[in-house]
Structure 1
Amino acid sequence: MAAEEEGLTGPGETRPAPGPGPGGEPAPAAPRSVPELMLGRPPMARPLPTFDAEAAPAEPGPLFVDWLATALHAGVPDPQVFTLSTVDADGLPDARVLVLRDVDAAGTGWVFSTAADSPKGRQLADHPAAALTVYWPQLGRQVRVRGTVERAADQVAGAEFATRSPAARIGALVGRQSEPLASPAEYEEAVAVARRRLEATPDAVAAGHAVYTLWAHEVEFWQGDAERHHVRLRYTRTGPVRTPEWSRTLLWP
């Protein structure tokens, strides 16, 4: 969409005054630039929880589970949604939003699933490391995780697939994630075929469905503050993966 259709113009450009609203009342003035869209809307200008980093547990897994539960109880929309970042064959970063499937709090692993032949699946096969980012706006809380990624056995993936909603299973059975699509009708036809397959074979598993665990090497908890007195606590693994050996460091905001 052209910038002027969104009420945005380039430097030095002008735009006509907005016409009256539907009821004849004056329409609000439209912003002229992206910064104007954000002026008067400072981030985190609302009551936020505090975070006593000194009282945090020795390991990051239990703290993440506690923060996730708090987000659920606070009514944060889709608190289990996170951003997964990988790198492609050229070393360029790539990111997308996924759904967290489980947390191994003891071993400090974040579990997710996807198609092994999707772009992210291929990237993880070539370079099994990733970063995970969660942000819960209502609480002003962010969690950043970095580590190595391990693919689970096919039996684990099959069992996980059975726990997914019918719509999610149908979408996975359609497959061809991120491939060019000729038309919406082509997709709807593929969905219908996948739905009939699932109805005929309820235990069907999409080819290439894979479950991965991101084993954290580093985890940072970030509690925002309206006065920018943010609290940042970083955990760094000091022992082998799956062992409860971590160091903790407070970071400057």
Structure 2
Amino acid sequence: MERDLHEPDPHRPDPRRPDRHDPDLHELLRSLRVWDPAVTELPDFDPAAAPAEPLALFTAWFAQAVAAGQVEPHTMSLATADAEGLPDVRTVMLHGADASGWSFATHVDSRKGRQLTARPYAALGFYWPTQGRQVRVRGPVTAAPAQEGQADLHARSTGALAAALTGRQSQVLGSLEELARTSESAWERAQREPDAPVPTWTLYQLRPDEVEFFQGDARRRHVRLNYRRTADGWGKELLWP
């Protein structure tokens, strides 16, 4: 009996479906759960007891994330926009937070450095899944004095200095061999000159206009407390989840 030409051949893979040995992205996504009660114990958050300014709450939450064993709690998403207004985002390290703002560093001639020159406004996003918490910060960005940027760099590890000395961030790379040669030379100099200057290295400070604290809830009754800067200081408001 001949097979109908419109009937799929059971012995030939269907090009419209992934191979059975390949992972199915949608199935993987549907299988995942957020804040499984058997794994994650979400803390309580009473916004009525929150301090008057966001920095104090951020410091407390950051310390609690460290105590809870959150991996790399100092990493954050940095969102910027280019000269045409198109968004961009990447993960960077928090270098500090004080009355002047939240600080991070990069080369002024890197992609994000150029974007901040064109549009000096940014947003930061922290996510600490061990406690179901997020913190969102946004506001204008300014560059700290050059000596502060160099001091910040030289207070970090040899590897951080070597990476900064390697430079050319975001530029097109010819080959991995070229990167290896340049990086090796930078490591040698960083070890030989721990105070080697990197003129393009810049410390940026984001002075927040808004800071939102998000506490996840297993029943999706998430608590969102938003601080908004006003002429008289900070105002607080709750947001629907």
Partner of 1:13: 17
Q: Describe the SS at the equivalent of 2:208.
A: strand
Q: Describe the SS at the equivalent of 2:209.
A: strand
Question: Given the alignment of the two structures, is residue 111 of structure 1 paired with residue 103 of structure 2, yes or no?
Answer: yes
Distance verdict in 2 for CA 1:40–1:157, change over 3 Å: same
Shift of 1:180: 1.2
Q: Distance in 2 between matches of 1:246 and 1:69?
A: 22
Shift of 1:42: 2.1
Note if contact 1:60-1:108 (Cα within 8 Å) is conserved in structure 2.
no
Note if contact 1:232-1:251 (Cα within 8 Å) is conserved in structure 2.
yes
Partner of 2:34: 43
Shift of 1:195: 2.0
Shift of 1:38: 2.2
Partner residue of 1:136 out of 128, 139, 151: 128
Shift of 1:207: 2.3
Alignment of 1:232-243 (within 5 A): 232-239=224-231
Q: Which has the larger radius of gyration?
A: 2
Shift of 1:58: 0.8
Q: Which amino acid is 2:80 matched to?
A: T
Note if contact 1:108-1:216 (Cα within 8 Å) is conserved in structure 2.
no
Note if contact 1:112-1:212 (Cα within 8 Å) is conserved in structure 2.
yes
Partner residue of 1:83 out of 72, 77, 82: 77
Report percent identity of matched pairs: 46
Shift of 1:12: 5.8
1:143-173: per-residue Cα shift (whole Å, max 9, x none)? 0011000100011111111111101110100
Partner of 2:207: 215
Q: Distance in 2 between matches of 1:198 and 1:14?
A: 48
Question: Given the alignment of the two structures, is residue 250 of structure 1 paired with residue 238 of structure 2, yes or no?
Answer: yes
Shift of 1:67: 0.4
Q: Which amino acid is 1:15 matched to?
A: D
Note if contact 1:82-1:133 (Cα within 8 Å) is conserved in structure 2.
yes
Gaps of 5+ in 2: 1-12
Question: Given the alignment of the two structures, is residue 127 of structure 1 paired with residue 127 of structure 2, yes or no?
Answer: no
Q: Distance in 2 between matches of 1:11 and 1:184?
A: 34
1:92-146: per-residue Cα shift (whole Å, max 9, x none)? 0001100000010xx2610111111101111111111000000001110000011
Partner of 2:59: 65
Q: Which amino acid is 1:57 matched to?
A: P
Q: Distance in 2 between matches of 1:247 and 1:129?
A: 21
Note if contact 2:158-2:194 (Cα within 8 Å) is conserved in structure 1.
no
Q: What is the number of equivalent residue pairs in this alignment?
A: 226
Shift of 1:192: 1.7
**TM-score, normalised with respect to structure 2:** 0.89
Question: Given the alignment of the two structures, is residue 56 of structure 1 paired with residue 50 of structure 2, yes or no?
Answer: yes
Alignment of 1:80-229 (within 5 A): 80-104=74-98, 107=99, 109-229=101-221
Q: Which moved more, 1:196-205 or 1:61-70?
A: 196-205
Q: Which amino acid is 2:33 matched to?
A: P
Q: Which amino acid is 2:147 matched to?
A: Q
Distance verdict in 2 for CA 1:192–1:90, change over 3 Å: same
**TM-score, normalised with respect to structure 1:** 0.84
**C-alpha RMSD over aligned residues:** 1.9
